Amino acid sequence: MPLRGEIITDGEAFEALAPHWWALWRNCTSATPFQTPAWLLPWWRHFSPGRLTVIAVWRHSRLVGLAPFYLEEIKTRRLLPIGIALSDYLDVLIEPGCEGEAGDLIFKRGMEIGWDSWEFEELHPGSQAAAICCPGKLANTTAIQNACPVIRLQGEDDLAGCVPARRRRQLRRARASAIRRGTLAIEPVSGDTDAFLAHLFRLHGARWAEREENGILDSKVVQDFHRDALAALSAFGLARCSLIRIGDDVASAYYGMSDGRRAYAYLGGFDPGFSEQSPGSILIGHAIAEAIREGVGEFHFLRGREAYKYSWGATDRWNQRRSFHGIEQP
């Protein structure tokens, strides 16, 4: 049965894709939580920076391909991925076995839109968009974009199989120092995500205030997006968030995700008054141990080459950008 492609430009129709979208996402083993309706629908609701331009590919009533984009029309017409800037991984979704046919149809319908460039951002190794063939004689450029350090998880939840000994010693010292300050308790967040985010916003803001800078959460629209997205991620079992209390004080917050194959350390914050106790490191160690107990194979620190990530034994994996231009090569 031939595939059918449509271009969705209406927000309500985009929202109505969610049940079909979840089924497709679960079939795509390379997909991450950043490609779920839980993440991208809230992003569109809160930002909507251009004209909605989502390409959906169907076989009968089954969604087998999805390319969620929007058209930015400022100086030039750029087709950009929904989720850009706040998402560490971006991709299209194509059901296994349909890659060639659905990929061709995504491009065929995409060519009808009218753009000067079509940008595929933050494609991780193994992403489906990285493998789509360039149609016809379009100009197609690929460039390295951002490093996302990753730990391959091995061994037991004592971390000895995957985390360097020096970091494990530092973790033990941090825990001992925290206990000297008061009772140490790590609290998983399973229900009230708004209360968790209130702690995260405060702690993240306090850290950046010390530097006299604004952090990425210093915006109401970004905060509202995260309230919406984290509630949805939690409802679908993808959120992995926790707080650490030292005595009566919430000293650090960890905002993570897991899809059962990979764990993702998205964001954190800590009280500068507890910096000697390294509560953020204690929560990362806890998150890695939890991922091992869940049988997860990789722990992703996501974008950025901060030194602390490599102290945990992470190694770089590089995202790439693919750009297509509506100019035929001679």
For residue range 152-182, list pLDDT tens digits in order.
999 999 999 999 999 999 999 999 999 999 8
pLDDT score at 94: 97
pLDDT: which is higher, 210 or 100: 100
Q: What is the pLDDT of residues 48-88, one digit of tens each?
A: 999 999 999 999 999 999 999 999 999 999 999 999 999 99
Structure tokens, 27: 């079939």
Least confident of 14-28, 143-157, 204-218, 298-312: 204-218
Mean pLDDT of 142-148: 97
pLDDT score at 153: 98
Q: Would you say the CATH fold of 150-311 matches that of 4-146+318-328? A: yes
**113 Rama class: left (phi>0) / alpha (psi -120 to 50) / beta:** alpha
Model pTM above 0.85:
yes
- According to DSSP, the β-strands at 150-152 and 77-81 are unpaired
Residues 6+ apart with CB under 8 A from 7: 53, 54, 55, 56, 109, 112, 113
Structure tokens, 192: 């009230």
- To the nearest 10 degrees (0 to 180), the angle between helices 18-27 and 37-46 is 130
25-42 core/surface letters (b: 16 or more CB in 10 A; e: else)? bebbebbbbbbbbbbbbb
Average pLDDT score, the chain: 94
Q: What is the DSSP letter of 126?
A: T
Residues 6+ apart with CB under 8 A from 66: 17, 21, 24, 54, 55, 56, 57, 92, 93, 94
Which H or E run includes 229?
helix 220-235
C-alpha to C-alpha distance for 33 and 255, rounded to whole angstroms: 13
Whether the per-residue pLDDT at 327 is higher than 70: the answer is no
Q: What single letter denotes the amino acid at residue 318?
A: W
Whether the per-residue pLDDT at 5 is higher than 80: the answer is yes
Structure tokens, 291: 């991922």
Q: Where are the domains of the chain?
A: 4-146+318-328, 150-311
User: What top-level class would CATH report for the domain 4-146+318-328?
Assistant: alpha beta
C-alpha to C-alpha distance for 28 and 328, rounded to whole angstroms: 32
- According to DSSP, the β-strands at 77-81 and 117-123 are parallel
pLDDT score at 329: 38
Mean pLDDT of 115-128: 95
Specify the length of the chain in residues: 330
Which H or E run includes 201?
helix 193-210
Least confident of 131-135, 225-229, 246-250, 265-269: 131-135
How would residue 32 be classed by pLDDT, with cut points 50, 70 and 90? Answer: very high
Residue 199 main-chain phi, psi, to 5 deg: -65, -45
Superfamily of domain 150-311: Gcn5-related N-acetyltransferase (GNAT) (3.40.630.30)
Q: Please give the C-alpha separations between residue 286 and each of 188, 232, 235, 242, in angstroms, as whole numbers.
A: 10, 23, 22, 9
Q: How many CA atoms lie within 13 A of 53 on its CB side?
A: 24
